Each structure stands twice: as C-alpha cells, then as structure tokens.
Structure 1
Amino acid sequence: MPTPDDDLGELIVRAARSLRGRWREVLEPWDLSPHQARALMVVGRSGDGLRLSGLAEALRIAPRSATEVVDGLAARELVERVPDPTDRRAVLVRATDTGARVMAEVAAARAADARAALARIPADERAELARLLRRFVDG
C-alpha cells in the first residue's frame, strides 16, 4: 500500500520532469541542450577556467563525455581551451566573452521561466517549499 512519502517522492520526480521539459524550451533560442547549458554554467562560474576532469566531476559525467560537450561549445565559440598556468601539460576550459553573455541570457531566461512556472503558488508557500527542498537536498 503506498504511503504519503511514496506519493511525495513521485510528486518531486514529476515536478523535476516538468521543469526539465520547460528548460529544453527555454534553451531553444540559443540552440543549446540542457547538458551544454549546464556545462557552460559550470565553466562560466569557474572564473579562470577548470580542467576537463573538474568539469566532468561537477557534471557527474565521464571525462570523455565532458570532452564532447566542450568540443560542441568550443565549436560555437562559447568556451575556449587555454594552457593551465600552473601545469604546462594541462589545459583549462573557460568561457569566452560570447559564452559569458549567453550564460547570463540563459540564466535570466531560466529564472523568468521558473518564476512563471511557480507563479500560481503564493510567495510565502514558495519560500517554504524552497526551504524544505534545500533541507532535503543538503541532507
């Protein structure tokens, strides 16, 4: 017999799927996949850049997959590979000026979409939902 917690888990999964579907639509103007957008965000937040292994770890993907994502972003001149100043054998990935601009535009569009998606929930309840989800995620 299902418990209320089973229903809650399913609701969380359904909410995540709903937002993920909206996320794909939000990204259409930039012709980015959710995976590319996440990678661009991680690289952009890294400041001076990060190694492919660090990107793979942050995205929880295989290093080979990180290379493929970076190749796609580099082909569009959203990121660039540069020598690591602390290790001449290593390469860092960092956002280009275009990549930083796209990252800011995507972040603004995603935030606006999230506000629209959650608008029917009163502000005090959204704040409570955020508090509870942070507690759940941070464990």
Structure 2
Amino acid sequence: MPPPSAASTGDLLTAVARSLRRRYAAAFAEWDVTPAQARALRVATEHEGARLSVIAEHLQIAPRSATEVVDALEARGLVERRPDPGDRRATSVVPSPEGLRLRRLLDEARRHAAEELLGRLGPADRAELDRILALLVDP
C-alpha cells in the first residue's frame, strides 16, 4: 500500500478538525453560545481588559465581527465594556461574574466533547498524536 499523500493527510486533519468543531458547537448549544462567542469569552477571561482588536486577533476575525460577538456576550451580561485605563479612546472587555462561571462550564463541555472523539485512542496512540500535532503547530 503506498504511503498517504500530503493532500490525503491534510484532508484527514481537516475532517477531524470539523468533527471536533461540530462537537464543540453541539456542546455549547446547551447554553445558547456559539463557538465564536465561547472563544471570545475565553480570550476575555484569559486577557482581562482585552481590547476588541486583541479579541479579533485571537479569533482571527475582522474587528467588526469581533464587535458583533462581544455585543452578543454583553447583551447576555457575560462581559462588560469599560474604558481602557491606558488609553481613554479605547475600550476594554471584562468578563462578568456570570461570564466567568459560564467560561468554566464551557471549558468542561469542551473537554468532554474532545474526549468523546479522542477517547477512541489508546494512551500510546494519544501520546503519539499529541507529539506529532505539536510538531505541526505554527509557532
């Protein structure tokens, strides 16, 4: 049997990533949160006081799109916009106590969804997959 081509390996990686994203979306639906909102909430909690541009950069979306995602989180009381202490013209995004609570729940749902997929692998295969994927992650 010939070795797989780079294209077929890439296709397999893409298929696994899609499957994982679908599982995340299904897990987040319980809280009526989209994957983009969950990621934005994670950025806001990890980088408290993050500007919208920082959130957009982490989500790899346009700043206008980040504004829409943060608007949805703010409407639900999960984040607040505050004046940036370092620049009066800028706004920072800060998680609310409810946002912090939901972040913990979403993280657990995300871990469970990933384990549901990756749990099919034995410990040795999982360690090898982690090793290989770590080599491929962009620095």
SS in 2 for 1:121: coil
1:68-115 CA distances to partner (integer Å, 9 max, x unpaired)? 111000000011001111112211001111001101110011101211
Using the alignment, how far apart are the partners of 1:82 and 1:43 within structure 2? 12
Matched residue, 1:120:
120
| Letter aligned with residue 109 of structure 1 | A
Instruction: Tell me how far 1:3 sits from its aligned partner.
Output: 4.9
Matched residue, 1:77:
77
| Letter aligned with residue 8 of structure 2 | D
Using the alignment, how far apart are the partners of 2:33 and 2:18 within structure 1? 18
Matched, 1:18 2:52: no
Give the unaligned 5+ runs of structure 1.
none
1:41-64 CA distances to partner (integer Å, 9 max, x unpaired)? 1111113x1111111111111111
TM-score (norm: length of structure 2)? 0.93
Matched residue, 1:67:
67
Matched residue, 1:6:
7
SS in 2 for 1:82: strand
SS in 2 for 1:30: coil
Using the alignment, how far apart are the partners of 2:116 and 2:56 within structure 1? 31
Matched, 1:55 2:91: no
Give the aligned length.
137
Using the alignment, how far apart are the partners of 2:127 and 2:95 within structure 1? 32
| Letter aligned with residue 52 of structure 2 | L
Using the alignment, how far apart are the partners of 2:21 and 2:116 within structure 1? 14
TM-score (norm: length of structure 1)? 0.93
Instruction: Tell me how far 1:138 sits from its aligned partner.
Output: 3.0
Percent identity between matched residues is: 48
Which aligned runs of 4 or more in structure 1 are off by greater than 4 angstroms? none
SS in 1 for 2:11: helix
- Backbone CA RMSD of aligned residues: 1.4
